[in-house]
Amino acid sequence: MQIEKLIRNKAKCLKCGEVAESKSGHDFRRCKCGAIAVDGGLEYRRGVMESHDIYEDQSEYYTLHYPTWDDYKAGKQPIKVEFSKHVTLEHRRKLLRDWLTQGEFVVTFKKIDGELRNMPCTIQEGKVPVVESKTGRVKKPNDEVMSVYATDKNEWRSFRVENVLSIEMKEQV
Ligand SMILES: [Zn+2]
């Protein structure tokens, strides 16, 4: 799987030589001669130009490749994925859920007090105890926090998705 993200939105005017860069959604920037302009910041990329031949796109992208569970099983890919700041919350959540439902992994995350924790955990069916609901109420899903079964403590634990640094396959005995 691969995600690509815009990290700089800019273009060079080949008429006056100036580089115009847009840093936020409503940051409309023109070059000094006015022949080109960029807009949209990192939310969307929009270029305005007198003609295409004077507009040189200099936008920068960040690309993250990461293995899917099938790649992992086929042994073709590395088994550790590190999350940089460019990986969105949505993609982190998707990868964590994708993998943890299928096995046991070590998730490294920063705790609220700033300390790092390497937690072997899973949410794979059959490996976690069935949770009995006492009240019968359904807990409101929270996209920012993930609950997992910590296999070193045999207890449910949770972490904030944004604080996860990496996920790594645990050595299987
Ligand atoms: Zn110009």
Q: What is the pLDDT of residues 8-42, one digit of tens each?
A: 999 999 999 999 999 998 899 999 999 999 999 98
Q: Is 56 found in the same domain as 82?
A: no
Q: Is 138 found in the same domain as 91?
A: yes
Boundary (domain end) residue, out of 20, 45, 62 = 62
Q: Is 110 found in the same domain as 58?
A: no
Distance 35 CA to ligand 1 centre (A): 5
Assign 3-class secondary structure to the chain.
CEEEEEEEEEEEECCCCCEEEECCCCCCEECCCCCEEEECCCCCCEEEECCHHHEEECCEEEEEECCCHHHHHHCCCCCEEECCCCCCHHHHHHHHHHHHCCCCEEEEEECCCCCEEEEEEECCCCCCCCCCCCCCCCCCCCCCEEEEEECCCCEEEEEEHHHEEEEEECCCC
Q: Is 94 found in the same domain as 52?
A: no
Q: Is 159 found in the same domain as 96?
A: yes
**Global confidence as pTM:** 0.66
Interval 127-157: pLDDT, tens: 888 765 555 555 566 788 999 999 999 999 9
Q: Is 74 found in the same domain as 15?
A: no
Distance 63 CA to ligand 1 centre (A): 30
Q: Is 71 found in the same domain as 116?
A: yes
Which structural domain, as residue segments, surrounds residue 146? 66-169
Q: Is 157 found in the same domain as 99?
A: yes
Distance 36 CA to ligand 1 centre (A): 6
Distance 14 CA to ligand 1 centre (A): 7
Report residue 67's pLDDT band, with 50, 70 and 90 as the boundaries: confident
Q: Give whole-number Cα distances, 37 to 33, 60, 123, 132, in Å.
A: 10, 16, 49, 59
Q: Is 142 found in the same domain as 77?
A: yes
Distance 57 CA to ligand 1 centre (A): 13
Number of domains in the chain: 2
